[in-house]
Chains A and B, each alone.
Chain A
Amino acid sequence: MDSLGYLLAALTPYHVALAIGGVVAGTVVGSLPGLTATMAVAVLIPITFSMEPASALILMGAIYTGAIYGGAYAAILLNTPGTPSAIATTFDGYPMAKRGDGDLAITLACIASVCGGLVGALFLLFLAPPLANVALSFGPVEYFWLAILGLTLISALSQGNLLKGLIGACFGLLLSCIGVAEISADVRLTFGSQTLLGGIETVSALIGLYCIPVLIDLVATPDRHLKVEDVSRGFRLHEALDISWRSKFNLARSSVLGTLVGILPGAGGSIAGLVAYSEARRSSKQQQDFGHGAPEGVQATESANNATVGGGFIPTLVLGIPGTPPDAVILGALLIQGVRTGPNLFTEHGSIVYVFIWGLLLATVLMLPIGLLIGRYAYRSIVTVPKALLVPTVAFMTLIGTYAIRNSVSDVAIMIVLGVLGWVLGRFGFSASPIVLGLILGSIAEQGFVQGWIIGAAADDLWGQFFGRPISVGIFAFILLSLFSPLLLSRFRVKRELTGAD
């Protein structure tokens, strides 16, 4: 099938309906303060299990992109980011709403999100296939090092201490070993428990680790009785398009930055938004306006965070290493469907990948009318949904969704226990993302490590097997860089401050 064929396959009424439904559902969940884009994808994912992989991917991509955009509503109108990726949107979005430009800020955010989403998806369309060709030359040891690179990057980039991130990653890797070993059939790390014999089901674990801590915190505090800033009537589309055209370089730069940040494993929309915001501020001639309602601030953040959607799919689909936390959930869902991501996906299952990419582009374009309409007519009703109905609804969705994966009550119990564990660990600065990535990358890392070990031991050259191949050495250098760069940067900063003080 050629490009046109894939495009037409993405434009079937069924796929258009999925894209519309996904964007609406994602935008609604993302706009609710406290619920993240990862959670939106995780709780809605069980609906995709009975679908064809390409259709499931279109729906998941649409939910994801809608949720990232949805976070802007609360950021602009409530000064509370609906999702963490909209943190930097509050800096200028809320001041705009306070001076009566909330409607303009929402339209600008929508246009910027569409621009960012399109740039990310186009990068995915044009960059992923050549990268997949390069990745075809990777052997098991390279995949092992790539998995470790993903784990070290997420440990370095996730909140808190690097060592805590690495401990979480190791814990996730150990969780992935639980159950019957694939090759030797040894029963591992079950400690006599029949429940653990089947191993930890990845998506149930993700639902637990990402959704239960949010619910636990939501139930512990009263409703905030949110006061939505009054917005004037209208979309102000012409004005917003005019402003967007004038800051086209800001939009382009932020979208590219967002895509590049999305490609880094573990670095999601929040980092992309903050990086793009600071870059927009640094390069602006009106730096003093930032933080006081500068439209460029909203545009930079919103274009960058939506660009991470396409960017994050690049390592997810090419290497099987999730770029962002929602990608981790989507990767888990694909594994349930029997689709193994990696370079072969592009050659053996081109119909899945390319139909999905066109579907993602379609969903991104549809976000413009849908986002504007929801922001204009439905946002006030969505954001005032009482917590007493929101929490049980999400809790019920986690129960039914987890059960549906393997029809297993044990999975539901494990999901809840892991969720509580995630919440407890989070209280002490251990982020959930390294654990999740460890769990997902466990099988890739183990396969590569064991094969490399066996070959190296047989050739009596373990060192050469792991450190003697050019690509492995390159990836290993990146691992060292990701491990030590935060330390070097902080030392450099301290030194610079001391020099400045002198």
Chain B
Amino acid sequence: MPTEPQSRDTGGMIVAAIFILIGVLALWDTFDYTDADSFVFPRTVAAAMIVFCIGLIAWSLAHPIDVGSRRAQSTPRRVGLVTAMLIAALLMPYTGFLLSGLLAFAAIVWLAMYDPWTRGRLIVYPLVGSAIVLGFYFLFTKVLLVPLPTGRLFIG
């Protein structure tokens, strides 16, 4: 029976090292606080986190783990999804929620599309997408009375 290849958990150790850095930064930050009420808890937690991270690194050095094979997946699409969402969030105050939402929706449809663009899909997908965005926009602004940004660009 084939077994999973074994190796050290290098990724886990790198993340633990980054968490040690975060812990040290948190500890350093606590020395600026004026009140014991403010520093006693984050200082204790940061110290505990550093200890656990050192423990994890030591454990990982001594114990190899099973490294499963990973399926081929598209990194550009992942990056694209996050970028589209971040741009939509940053554009919101300028273009308004509706326009940035429509743009993000269109971009993510394009990113998540693996099938060929047939004429039917070219007609149906934008219509469905617009209906979803407009439906939620209406629900939040008119029913739930959430003041979604209208956009400085169009107000002047």
A residues sitting closer than 8 Å to B (CB atoms) are 46-47, 49-50, 161, 163-164, 166-167, 170-171, 173-174, 177, 181, 183-184, 186, 188-189, 191, 212, 215-223, 386-393, 395-400, 403-404, 407, 409, 412-413, 416, 419-420, 425, 427-430, 445-446, 449-450, 453-454
The main secondary structure of chain B at its interface with chain A is helix
Q: How far is the CA of A489 from the CA of B115 in the complex (A)?
A: 49
List B contacts of A49 (CB < 8 A): 144
Closest B residue to A412 by beta carbon equals: B89
Are B49 and A50 closer than 8 Å at their CB atoms?
no
0 or 1 for each of B99-124: is its CB under 8 Å from A? (1 = yes): 00100111011011111000000000
Q: Other than the known A166-B52, A170-B49, what 14 A-B pairs have Cβ atoms closer than 8 Å? A: A167-B53, A170-B46, A170-B48, A171-B19, A171-B22, A183-B38, A215-B81, A388-B112, A389-B128, A395-B104, A396-B108, A412-B89, A425-B15, A449-B41
In the bound complex, residues from chain A placing their C-beta under 8 Å from that of B32 are 186
CB <8 Å contact, A170 and B52: yes
Q: Residue of A at shortest CB range from B147?
A: A407
Closest CB of chain B to A226's CB: distance in Å?
14
Contact A164–B56 (Cβ < 8 Å)? yes
B35 contacts the other chain (CB 8 A): yes
Interchain CB contact under 8 A, A403 and B112: no
B50 to chain A, nearest CB (A): 9
Known contacts A216-B81, A416-B85, A450-B40; is A393 also within 8 Å of B132 by CB? yes
A220 vs B9: C-alpha distance when bound (angstroms): 24
| Contact call A174/B45, Cβ cutoff below 8 A | yes
Instruction: Specify which chain A residues have a CB less than 8 angstroms from the CB of B106 in the assembled complex.
Output: 392
User: Please, which residues of chain B bring their CB within 8 A of the CB of A400?
Assistant: 97, 101, 136-137, 140, 148
B23 contact set on A, CB distance < 8 A: 170, 174
Distance between Cα atoms of A399 and B93 in the complex (Å): 13
Residue of A nearest to B15 (CB): A428
Task: Check A216 against B42 for contact (C-beta < 8 Å).
Answer: no
Contact of A219 among B9, B77, B137 (CB under 8 A): B77
**B29 to A404, Cβ gap below 8 A?**
no
Whole-angstrom distance from the CB of A17 to the nearest CB of chain B?
14
